[in-house]
Amino acid sequence: MLTIVSVAGLALGPAGSAEAQRWVSPDPAGDVTGAIYSLDPAPCGTITPVDASAVTDVDLTGLSVRHHRRDVTVELGVSDLPETGTELMTVHLRTAKGAWAVDLDRTGRTGFGAFFYEEPDWDALIEQADPDGDGCAIVSVVIVETPCAGLGHRGDPDLDVVRLTVPRSCLGRPRWVRAAASADAWRETDEAWFSDRWAPEGVEPTSFIGPFGPRVKVGPVAGTQTTAAPGAGRTAGAPSVVRHLVLTVTPDRVTAVPDPLPAR
């Protein structure tokens, strides 16, 4: 078992296409998975599935992308988004110019914090950490937040929606964008990690992240484009924010946990 530390790099997803500036896709409700992980026995440890049928705050029900001239808006539908909670929602974005992600997290609070960064090639890091190919590894990744002035986000419990707006300038003003999404929550009372990720009915993920939706091309300027509260992103020149992410890899599952979840 090998532990590695890496600074975020780039990862590319497979290609797709769509001619519209807006794309919407549902996700099956009630498909959250839960697990308890133990380090024993070495080298892989033990993963014990737990009942997740009552977990609704990280149960994704849909994903949508709107690609405007000024920004990209991503919405995550959730079965039941509470006023306050402890969740981690991650939006992954792919363009012809690179790979990006935004972590939206909160710990017992009403509002979410946002962490925008260039995304590493997770599959390559996992492969490096598991040279024997036994499917067991611990990957430790240090990620530095990328400045993105105008990044906006908002959780809406009335609509059960988490909304993210990313200025196109932060993505290199791409011609198209693809998105993937996941939702996670640690429940101390259960000592378990609960997870869901967007995937169309019948599609099984084949990578640590994804699947990704189709390419959504940039559209004409809309009258109202920013649908989330602006000003959440770190601007150039501000002190760097660093996040430590630990991936526990077993033959059946990869669990990624911020260590610790940052307080905002």
Task: Give residue-wise pLDDT tens across range 22-73.
Answer: 999 999 999 999 999 888 887 788 889 999 999 999 999 999 999 999 999 9
Percentage of the chain surpassing pLDDT 90? Answer: 53
Residue 18: the pLDDT is 41
In angstroms, rounded to a whole number, what is the distance separating the alpha carbons of residues 262 and 244? 9
Q: Which amino acid is at 9?
A: G
In angstroms, rounded to a whole number, what is the distance separating the alpha carbons of residues 58 and 42? 30
The band of 16, judged by pLDDT with boundaries at 50, 70 and 90, is very low
Helix or strand (DSSP H, E) at 125: helix 122-129
This prediction has a pTM of: 0.81
Contact 27, 160 (CB under 8 A): no
Residue 37: the pLDDT is 86
Helix or strand (DSSP H, E) at 183: strand 176-187
Quick one: tokens of 230?
Answer: 């602006």
Closest of 148, 150, 152, 122 to residue 137, by C-alpha: 122
Residue 122: the pLDDT is 86
Residue 41: the pLDDT is 84
Quick one: tokens of 112?
Answer: 């979410």
